[in-house]
Structure 1
Amino acid sequence: MKGITKPTLEYFRPAPDKASGAAVIIIPGGGYGVVVYNGEGVNTAKALAEKGVAAFVLKYRLPSDAIMPDKKIGPLQDAQQAIKLVREQAAQWGIDTGKIGILGFSAGGHLASTAATHFEKSYVENASNTSLRPDFQILIYPVISMQDSLTHGGSRDNLIGKNPSRQDVELFSNELQVRMNTPPAYLTHAADDKLVDVDNSIAYFEKLRRLKVPVEMHIYPKGDHGFIFRHPGWMEPLFAWMKQNNWLKN
């Protein structure tokens, strides 16, 4: 999908007898140029709902000078708004306000990690002062950095422009934005990813580990970018991690 001017959040509800109280907001990838809505979004949401997790697929606005005063924060506004909405509606949807996570693929992983490291500043109207901090983050072959040596060029050009300031490069290089209160993370990537270098996940892992943020990482030797379409069992270790942290029922 491209040309998205109105963000949406599609809800996939777990069966009441399976519901664990956890919720995950899913952010599909697409280099900040398109949104891989069905392949990464809907399919993942159905698999999570099947396991008892309330799943929400975010169709976010793509960075655009035409519809945004500041295109760098447009997608982040949509991610924050989604977290805010799910947290504020949690009671009526049977969701535990302390179990709301975010999951992103590729450039959607950049957006998810941005939401997980920039939550102290609200980019949306938040008079109720609702917490915008995800309780956990799940990043699948994510773009993490905007630095020349690591970034995915297309994602960077689309988000912060072809000649970004040093300040913007650092602000949106999320490995530089990790703090001790960054949410626990699950990372997975393929070592032979030719589009988004696995060093994005490794740099983020290192930073989280050094600051003692709980983090688990799974690296497949092969599978390239978009490996979820070639590794049908890729969610099994993720479900095990979610069970261990009580986000899934045992």
Structure 2
Amino acid sequence: MTKLNLSLVLLLLAGSVKAQQIIPLYTGTIPNATSYTMQEIATEKDGRVVWYRKVSKPTLTIFLPAKEKASGAGVILFPGGGYSGESYEAEGVRIAETFIAHGVAAFVVKYRLPSDSIMVDKSIGPLQDAQRAIQVVRERAAEWNLSPDKIGIMGFSAGGHLAATAGTHFNEPVIGNPNATDLRPDFMILVYPVISMTEVPAHKGSRANLLGENPTAAQIERFSNELHVTIQTPPTYLTHAGDDTVVDVDNSIAFYEALRHHKVPAEMHLYPNGNHGFVLKLPTEEWMVPLFTWMKGNGWVK
């Protein structure tokens, strides 16, 4: 292969993993929003956005695999950041690129971050965006070459809490749903997730950002997702490091135990060390191997 042809191939490969489209999550009025629009802060590195803060206008970034590789499955991604920011590149775009290489469509959600300035009720703002993302992807499944029964969600850290909330509160819509679209994800992938809002093992920063410094008992109960698992909760894949000093591994263990006691199919991979964000130190193709095996075993990908 000549240098020119090699360069062309590399250029095409690089272009194949770019987002095809970024769309507003809502058309028209954003629910639960005040009249104040916060000035968004985007941190860039090498021309790519790696981190978002002060998000008030949510978006959906769309990554679609080549048609000949498409499995019909799609995953909606919620990056983490303690409900104070979003690790958009490492826990969003990079993961989406790996999914489409395996024939899975990916949708990175830039969700609103809880703020009394931009929301009437900041505790439900992120959940509204999560439900809306599921609604949009399912309603446009045919357009994006998806099977409407192969749409899952994935979240990291506080984004894992958001995903788990969407996966356990789908029967409690906090958005308008005129088409009665099913808001239940078909599967969940939770990576070192915040699960509980109880005193132990809650991640205090995430809890304070979402519920305030002095949440009520009702708020703590509502957003402690291990308490809301039912037989309808979607099959779940969990991974966490045992030495996580930021989000205690007891979050994943408590959620797995709740799933097990309700006979919800679940798979959990615990690693002895790596601390918080351990997957970000590894090539995605390495740590996601058992995840793709799990997805294949459940028939979501071929």
Q: Shift in Å at residue 84 of structure 1?
A: 0.1
Equivalent residues in 2 for 1:83-232 (5 A)?
Answer: 83-232=134-283
TM-score (norm 2): 0.82
Aligned to 2:115: 64
In structure 2, distance between residues paired with 1:199 and 1:247: 28
| Structure 2 residue 276 is the aligned partner of structure 1 residue 238 | no
* Higher RCO (CA-CA < 8 Å; seq separation 6+): 1
Equivalent residues in 2 for 1:31-50 (5 A)?
Answer: 31-50=82-101
Q: Shift in Å at residue 7 of structure 1?
A: 0.3
Q: Shift in Å at residue 3 of structure 1?
A: 1.1
Aligned to 1:3: 54
Any unmatched runs of 5+ in structure 1? none
In structure 1, distance between residues paired with 2:59 and 2:245: 31
In structure 1, distance between residues paired with 2:120 and 2:230: 28
Could you say what secondary structure the match of 2:161 adopts?
A: helix
TM-score (norm 1): 0.99
Q: Deviations 1:2-56 (Å, cap 9, x if unpaired)?
A: 0111000000111111100000000000000000000110000000011000100
Q: Shift in Å at residue 246 of structure 1?
A: 1.3
Could you say what secondary structure the match of 1:66 adopts?
A: coil
Q: Shift in Å at residue 150 of structure 1?
A: 0.5
Alignment equivalent of 1:81, drawn from 121, 132, 141: 132
Could you say what secondary structure the match of 1:57 adopts?
A: strand
- AA at the equivalent of 1:237: P
In structure 2, distance between residues paired with 1:215 and 1:141: 15
In structure 1, distance between residues paired with 2:282 and 2:107: 23
Contact conserved, 1:63 with 1:159, CA < 8 A, in 2? yes
Q: Shift in Å at residue 231 of structure 1?
A: 3.0
Root mean square deviation of aligned Cα? 0.6
Could you say what secondary structure the match of 1:41 adopts?
A: helix
In structure 2, distance between residues paired with 1:224 and 1:48: 24
In structure 2, distance between residues paired with 1:130 and 1:169: 28
In structure 2, distance between residues paired with 1:63 and 1:23: 26
In structure 2, distance between residues paired with 1:12 and 1:92: 13
Q: Shift in Å at residue 230 of structure 1?
A: 2.1
Contact conserved, 1:223 with 1:231, CA < 8 A, in 2? no
Q: Deviations 1:172-230 (Å, cap 9, x if unpaired)?
A: 00000101100000000000000000000000000000000000000011110001122
Could you say what secondary structure the match of 1:55 adopts?
A: strand
Identity of aligned residues (%): 61
- AA at the equivalent of 1:76: L
Larger deviation, residues 88-97 vs 104-113: 88-97
In structure 2, distance between residues paired with 1:89 and 1:49: 18
Q: Deviations 1:146-181 (Å, cap 9, x if unpaired)?
A: 011101010000001110001100110000010110
In structure 2, distance between residues paired with 1:205 and 1:231: 24
In structure 1, distance between residues paired with 2:153 and 2:162: 10
Could you say what secondary structure the match of 2:269 adopts?
A: strand
- AA at the equivalent of 1:61: R
In structure 2, distance between residues paired with 1:92 and 1:13: 11
Could you say what secondary structure the match of 1:246 adopts?
A: coil
Any unmatched runs of 5+ in structure 2? 1-51
In structure 1, distance between residues paired with 2:270 and 2:88: 24
In structure 1, distance between residues paired with 2:289 and 2:75: 16
The structure number with the bigger radius of gyration is 2
